[in-house]
Amino acid sequence: MRAAWLTALAAALGLAACSPAQPGYDLDKASPGAVDQARLLAATGDGDNWLAFGRTPDEQRFSPLDQVNNETVKNLGLAWSADMDTARGQEATPLVVDGVLYVSTAWSMVKAYDAASGKPIWSYDPEVPRDTLARVCCDAVNRGVAVYNNKVFVAALDGRLIALDAATGKPVWSKVVVPDQKSYAITGAPRVVKGRIILGNAGSEYKARGSIAAFDPETGDEVWRFHTVPGDPAKGFENPAMEKAAKTWTGKWWELGGGGTVWDSISYDPALNLIYFGTGNAEPWNPAPMERTGDNLYTSSIVAVNADTGEYVWHFQETPEDRWDFDSNQSIILADLPINGTPRRVVLHAPKNGFFYVLDAKTGAFLSGKPFTAVNWASGLDPKTGYPVINPEARYEKTGKPFISVPGAAGAHSWQSMAFSPKTGLVYIPVQEAGFPYAAQKDWQPSAIGFQTGLDNAAVAMPADAKVQAGAKQATTGSLLAWDPVAQKPAWSVKYPGPWNGGALATAGNLLFQGTAGGEFIAYSADKGAKLWSFPTQSGVIAAPMTYRVKGEQYVAILVGWGGVWDVATGVLAGKSGTTRNISRLLVFKIGGKGALPPAPPLAAVPLDPPPSTGTAAQIAAGGQTYGRYCSACHGDAAVAGGVNPDLRHSGALNDGAAFKSIVIEGALQHQGMVSFRAALKPDDAEAVRHYVISRANEDLRLEK
């Protein structure tokens, strides 16, 4: 095994010999991706490697390494960098196993590098069809891989789970693990628990029924599956948990799947033998069209299941009767903390809804909960049960009036990973302070393609009004928040000009690392929040950093590349962070690093030059409705795109109705991700959208003048 591994590595790198293995690691037994359950469970004390998504099963994202610390971080410099071959949002956390770095990129590509030198070892492209974007809410992203038993596992955007040989990157097996490839996608990183690959999926804005499943790493065969919402009662229930959940639903929720997808946030406690995961929103967001009432279990909840069987153990619902897209898929941290003077194993969670929860890890019992940012959809939590006291105005489908919720659909905290430091006792949260307007669509009906939210996005679209836009931008910010989970109060915070900043990393060197949407990679003191070091990344950062050690030298790595839902869907507000540039790279730092990035290409401004607006008022209004439902998810609110996807106000097809129709109806650009909307729209609808975009472009042009 040793000879085969050395030969493969030398051939891949073009080297005559392999670098020595990590100190303390037996080279004679070394093989690429040599990770087993014992190593995963011992990861807490293994600072050399970063073996899993959150480093340890408890997802604390805390490293015991301290060579880079308060005193030495000022000498941190670029050791090496690698350009990615896709300019989409980059959300992955790299893994490092015995001196080899594995990272996934947008479009579910996977790459392996020598972790010390940056020399490429192998690259794999699953060739995800670009039209998969039609069933993905939030860019062509991937959050990472898993390594186990000499294999690298990646969940492809189109619903495949793929096992790669860790030495060569060649596929070992590939299986479709979603119910269909029309409404489901996968963006999350697989986890390994007790020798099985644990994975959920995405799709709660489409027609998906959420679930989490365990797969055999040697074959890809499914071992168990737990659904998060009940199916059609007429067909019976898979288990008592589903029968119990069905009592909290009304209407025919199963016709749209129900939602509740597990698109991120999977943790594991080996002592309790429990897997914890968060679930997504109920579908559609607006509950009225499907006559959906009740708490709608187990959506917007944390659920714990038996790691061996997937059997339900407990749940805690954070947002009952969710109509705001307040997913609970944000990172779930397990920790031992003194609660009321008594040590307890607890779950720490900061979901989209703006409240920070502390739960008992064994039973799910509510211990405490406080808002960690501004919240107006609820006035607080019941001190005994943790049940929210919902603001009646927030039930927009009942009032018939728009409701501007704080936080909004992007969440007070989204998928960007938070971290916990056992040394400071603080949780570090990438916070978003951004509202969102909700309005119910009258007479809404499900469609064959696109988002199924039941919202009237046209009614609440950002107007072409300079004062309104300036006010919205001023009110839309972000921060890095250090939160004391025992006292349930902030310890310190750092304000940012915009939201959608990257995930966090805490280290024993009293450091807290985070990348920003404004294009900085920053180190703060973990105890006080003092800014100690920064590096200009040339692109917005949304991923979380990690750290590792090779031959006694500590490295810090971050995947850079602006994108994700904030860029894709928020339009005029996406530029608030200071950059809409995407330069996708892996950046790796060490003390004394002397590397430098090439100069960034100029960010050329593209002037608006639309054709004259000739559509009728009725045509433009109808086009705005159609655009809001079918187009805004990818091309931005009010036809203002964020930067990664095309801004239709600049499209040459606006000048030619036939050309526009060929794209929207006939699918002329389907291989670039723009599929045909023939299943839901007619040629007249496409023409109305064209006139709406022309009208909006002319309004925005007048603003610029």
pLDDT tens digits, 106-120: 999 999 999 999 999
Q: How far apart, in whole angstroms, are the C-alpha atoms of residue 323 and residue 396?
A: 9
**How high is the mean pLDDT of the chain?**
93
User: Which of these ranges, 174-178, 188-192, 582-586, 637-641, has the smallest mean pLDDT?
Assistant: 637-641
CB 152 within 8 A of CB 102: yes
Residue 668 and residue 664: Cα distance in Å, rounded? 8
Give the SS3 label for residue 443: coil
- What element of type H or E holds 659? helix 657-664
Residue pLDDT, tens place only, 271-307: 999 999 999 999 999 999 999 999 999 999 999 999 9
Give the structural domain span for 693: 617-704
User: To 5 degrees, how large is the angle CA 244–CA 284–CA 573?
Assistant: 130
| Banded pLDDT at 694 (limits 50, 70, 90) | very high
In a domain, 690, yes or no: yes
Q: How many residues does the chain have?
A: 705
Averaged pLDDT, 595-611: 89
> Given a cut of 70, is residue 344 above it in pLDDT?
yes
The owner of tokens 């109509």 is 323
Mean pLDDT of 437-450: 94
Poorest-confidence range of 241-250, 332-341, 499-508, 666-675?
A: 666-675
Q: Is 325 a catalytic residue?
A: yes
3-state percent breakdown (helix, strand, coil) of the chain, nearest 5: 20, 30, 50
- In sequence order, what DSSP letters do the residues of 608-620 get, joined into one string? --PPPP---HHHH
DSSP-derived pairing of the beta strands 62-63 and 504-507 = parallel
Kindly report the number of other CB atoms within 10 A of residue 612's CB atom. Answer: 7
> 44: which 2 tokens?
């807490």
Which of the residue ranges 190-194, 632-636, 675-679 has the most confident prediction, judged by mean pLDDT? Answer: 190-194
CA 485 to chain centre: 23
User: Which of the 8 DSSP states describes residue 702?
Assistant: H
- CB-based contact 327:278 (threshold 8 Å): yes
Q: Which has the closest alpha carbon to 330: 263, 408, 376, 422?
A: 263
The average pLDDT across 562-586 equals: 79
Residue 682 is assigned to a structural domain of this protein? yes
pLDDT-based confidence at 672, cuts 50/70/90? confident
Distance of alpha carbon 137 from alpha carbon 416, whole angstroms: 16
pLDDT of the residue at 605:
77
Q: What pLDDT does 26 receive?
A: 38
Q: pLDDT over 90 for what percent of the chain?
A: 87
Residue at 639 is within a domain? yes
H-helix segments, 128-265: 240-246
Burial 678-701 (b: 16+ CB within 10 A, else e): eeebeeebbbbbbbbbbbbbbbbe
What pLDDT digit, counting tens, does each position of 361-388 carry? 999 999 999 999 999 999 999 999 999 9
Separation of alpha carbons 76 and 534, rounded Å:
9
Q: What are the tens digits of pLDDT across the range 220-264?
A: 999 999 999 999 999 999 999 999 999 999 999 999 999 999 999
458: Cβ contacts below 8 Å, ≥ 6 apart: 621, 624, 625, 627, 628, 629
> Pick the residue with more confidence: 571 or 217?
217
DSSP state of 50: B
CA distance 663 to 152: 38
Q: Is the pLDDT of residue 441 over 80?
A: yes
pLDDT in tens, 44-77: 999 999 999 999 999 999 999 999 999 999 999 9
Asked if 272 and 258 count as a contact pair (C-beta separation under 8 A), the reply is: no
302 falls within a domain:
no
Residue 404 has pLDDT above 60, yes or no: yes
Instruction: Please indicate, yes or no, if residue 676 is contained in any of the structural domains.
Output: yes
Task: Let me know if residue 664 belongs to a domain.
Answer: yes
CATH number at residue 640: 1.10.760.10
Q: Is residue 637 part of a domain?
A: yes
pTM, two decimals, is: 0.94
Instruction: Please write the tens of the pLDDT for every residue from 413-427.
Output: 999 999 999 999 999
Assess whether pLDDT exceeds 60 at residue 20: no
Specify if 224 maps to a domain. Answer: no
Instruction: Look at residue 577 in the predicted model and tell me its pLDDT.
Output: 54
Q: How many domains does the chain have?
A: 1
Cα–Cα distance for residue pair 32/388, rounded to 1 Å: 49
CB contact at 8 A, 66 and 562: no
81: pLDDT strictly greater than 70: yes
Predicted local distance difference test score (pLDDT) of residue 22: 37
Distance CA 379, CA 499 (A): 24
Active-site annotation holder among 98, 158, 295, 325: 325
Runs of H (alpha helix) within 203-246: 240-246
Confidence of residue 576 (pLDDT cuts 50, 70, 90): low
* Neighbour tally for 29: CB within 10 Å: 10
Which of 212, 324, 206 lies closest to 264 in space, CA to CA?
A: 212
Structure-model confidence comparison of residues 645 and 500, the more confident one: 500
Work out the pLDDT band at 705, boundaries 50, 70, 90.
confident
Per-residue pLDDT, averaged over 623-635, amounts to: 93
**What six digits make up the tokens of 45?**
């004390």
State residue 101's pLDDT score: 98
